Amino acid sequence: MAEKMIIGMQVNDEPGVAARVIGLFARRGYNIETLTAGREDSSGKSKIFMSVTGDTEAIMKISKQVGKLLDVTKVRILAESDSIIQEMCLVKVAAPNHRAKELLLEYAEVNEAAVVFFEPETITLRIVGDTNKVESFLQLMNGFGIIEVSRTGLTAIFRGNSGNGYHERETEGERMKERRKKQKEAKDYWAAEADGYGNENVIEDWLWQGVE
């Protein structure tokens, strides 16, 4: 059964991470409907949120594969029961006369939308909320004549006081990164120890000792 799912990822703030995630879904024939990404803080971590529609079991399996990617540290499927999931939308609407402007301002107030820019014949509004709220507001604006729409895509944060919600497990990607770090440390150490021996085969044997 096809279902829309929101996947949240915590990743290391490194080039190419989002491309690897997108590529994994693309190779399996899934279209990513929305994708947002942004740096968390100064910790060197970023968050990526994507919405995908497809078979629930298949998407769960792909999510596990995402967790094995290098620099992906945590992965979780988000649900409305434990998360706040919202998006932001900018919409420019035709307002050619005074009456249209009055109505738009009234609808904006009722729907908790903000006026971003006021021009002689258009008004640009900003609305924030879940997908249903945004879609309903856009349908309402259609009656005036929508000139342009720009939507950010979904982003989310977990409810409660459990931190960032990604505490439950370490992904394969994080373990792989740690293993590579240890391999590099071992390589540097044994290369320094072997300096001067001049036997590359012996050195290569030493490099990976005890790094499994």
Number of domains within the chain = 3
CB 83 within 8 A of CB 159: yes
In a domain, 64, yes or no: yes
Residue 204 has a pLDDT of: 47
In a domain, 12, yes or no: yes
Mark whether 6 and 74 lie in a shared domain.
yes
Number of CB atoms found within 10 A of residue 25's CB: 21
Mark whether 67 and 121 lie in a shared domain.
no
In a domain, 202, yes or no: yes
* Amino acid (one-letter) located at 142: N
Residue 179 has a pLDDT of: 63
Mark whether 63 and 101 lie in a shared domain.
no
Residue 92 has a pLDDT of: 98
Range of the domain at 200: 182-207
Give the angle subtended at the CA of 95 by the CAs of 129 and 92, to the nearest 5°: 40
Mark whether 57 and 96 lie in a shared domain.
no
In a domain, 170, yes or no: no
Mark whether 44 and 90 lie in a shared domain.
no
In a domain, 49, yes or no: yes
Residue 174 has a pLDDT of: 60
Say how far residue 38 (Cα) sits from the centre of its chain.
7
Using only C-alpha atoms, what is the Rg of the chain? 24
Which CATH number characterizes residue 89's domain? 3.30.70.1150
Model confidence pLDDT, tens digit, residues 17-66: 889 999 988 888 888 899 999 988 777 899 999 998 888 888 888 888 88
Mark whether 93 and 146 lie in a shared domain.
yes
Handedness of CA 140, 79, 2, 173 (dihedral sign): positive
* Amino acid (one-letter) located at 36: T
Residue 102 has a pLDDT of: 95
The mean pLDDT of 161-176, rounded to a whole number, is: 54
- Mean pLDDT comparison of 2-11, 100-109, 162-171, highest-scoring range: 100-109
| CA separation for the pair 70, 50 (Å, rounded) | 18
The mean pLDDT of 146-166, rounded to a whole number, is: 80
Say how far residue 103 (Cα) sits from the centre of its chain.
36
Mark whether 10 and 47 lie in a shared domain.
yes
Q: What is the pTM of this model?
A: 0.69
192 Cβ contact partners less than 8 Å away, ≥ 6 residues apart: none
| CA separation for the pair 46, 17 (Å, rounded) | 10
CB 72 within 8 A of CB 9: yes
Mark whether 92 and 74 lie in a shared domain.
no
Unique residue bearing structure tokens 């390589």: 187
Residue 152 has a pLDDT of: 94
93 Cβ contact partners less than 8 Å away, ≥ 6 residues apart: 104, 122, 123, 124, 125, 141, 144, 145, 146, 147
Unique residue bearing structure tokens 């050619």: 96
Residue 212 has a pLDDT of: 40
Q: Does the structure show a pLDDT above 60 at 165?
A: no
Model confidence pLDDT, tens digit, residues 98-150: 999 999 999 999 999 999 999 999 999 999 999 999 999 999 999 999 999 99
| CA separation for the pair 175, 185 (Å, rounded) | 15
Residue 191 has a pLDDT of: 63
Residue 114 has a pLDDT of: 97
Of 56, 78, 100, the domain-final residue = 78
In a domain, 161, yes or no: no
Mark whether 69 and 101 lie in a shared domain.
no
Mark whether 89 and 63 lie in a shared domain.
no
Which CATH number characterizes residue 48's domain? 3.30.70.260
In a domain, 134, yes or no: yes
Model confidence pLDDT, tens digit, residues 173-211: 566 666 666 666 666 655 665 555 555 454 444 444 444
Mean pLDDT of the chain: 82
Residue 128 has a pLDDT of: 97
